[in-house]
Amino acid sequence: MRKLISEELCIPWNEVHLQRTSKGKPFLANNLLSINSNFNFNVSHQGDYAVLAAEPELQVGIDIMKTDLPGSSSIPNFFHIMKRQFTETEWDVIKSMSNEWMQLAMFYRHWALKESFLKAIGVGIGFNLQRIEFNVSPLQLEIGKVYKETKMLLDGEKEEEWTFEETRLDEHHHVAVALGKQEGFVQKDSDVHSMEPNQLQFTILTFEDLVASGIPVTPEDSAYWDNFCSKQEGPMRQSSHLR
């Protein structure tokens, strides 16, 4: 977030003031020129990636989901437990896929779409997920391409003001980016519908790339670092090795 903000808005790395809304969504608290007043961003981390999307004008939310076997139950049982997260129509699409693994991938694709919208509006948990329904299109996504055909219904009405960009980063990771109008703002020159189709939008950055231009925001503390390095890696979930 710091790298993005310092590069895009020319704010020195160590002068970037990040705060969170009461629901936990990080935002930039620096005083901005009016030209940048709608600038916003969102991050998601799951599986093997952390992803970030940012927008000069539209409201943005991002979510990444890794298709992983459920830890302690079969896929049909997992779907049964998750029944209320999706509408009947969404379940019909999920279950229409030809095998359980593809059903799971479609499940996580829908999940990423719902989360991306919830994260764009910043509501966190507690939103009635039955109010939003996705009509996904196309059913198959090629790895690395960006798709914008999927539509959302809110309370049964098609939401034309929101666009959803979907990408499969690799075999297992789906990313959804929700883009909508910020309340009370007049759209200027960037128009979400005018982007080139299939424009490749994610750039892979290594940890070194991320921190190369970093400036410490607190005095360096070698004891803190030694303590961090002495911690064990988190235990791996067994299920992630099954496929």
Q: Which is nearer to ligand COA, 33 or 125 (CB)?
A: 125
Of the candidate spans 118-126, 138-146, 204-212, 221-229, the one that interacts with ligand COA by CB under 6 A turns out to be 118-126
Beta carbons of 113 and 174 less than 8 angstroms apart: no
Of the candidate spans 120-128, 165-173, 219-227, 233-241, the one that interacts with ligand COA by CB under 6 A turns out to be 120-128
Under the binding rule (CB under 6 A), the answer on residue 43 touching ligand COA is yes
Question: To the nearest whole angstrom, how small is the minimum distance from the Cβ of residue 177 to ligand COA?
Answer: 12
| DSSP H or E segment with residue 9 | helix 2-9
Beta carbons of 135 and 149 less than 8 angstroms apart: no
Question: To the nearest whole angstrom, how small is the minimum distance from the Cβ of residue 5 to ligand COA?
Answer: 13
> CA gyration radius for the chain?
19
The upper half-sphere exposure of residue 4, i.e. CA atoms within 13 Å in the direction of its Cβ, equals 17
Under the binding rule (CB under 6 A), the answer on residue 119 touching ligand COA is yes
């030209």: which residue's tokens? 35
**Site residues (CB under 6 A) for ligand COA, limited to 94-113:** 111
Beta carbons of 133 and 114 less than 8 angstroms apart: no
Under the binding rule (CB under 6 A), the answer on residue 63 touching ligand COA is yes
Reduced to 3 states (helix: H, G, I; strand: E, B; else coil), residue 159 is coil
Question: To the nearest whole angstrom, how small is the minimum distance from the Cβ of residue 23 to ligand COA?
Answer: 4
Positive or negative torsion for Cα 133, 175, 18, 37:
negative
Question: To the nearest whole angstrom, how small is the minimum distance from the Cβ of residue 96 to ligand COA?
Answer: 18
Binding residues (CB under 6 A) for ligand COA: these are 23-26, 42-46, 63, 85, 111, 114-115, 118-119, 122, 124-125, 129
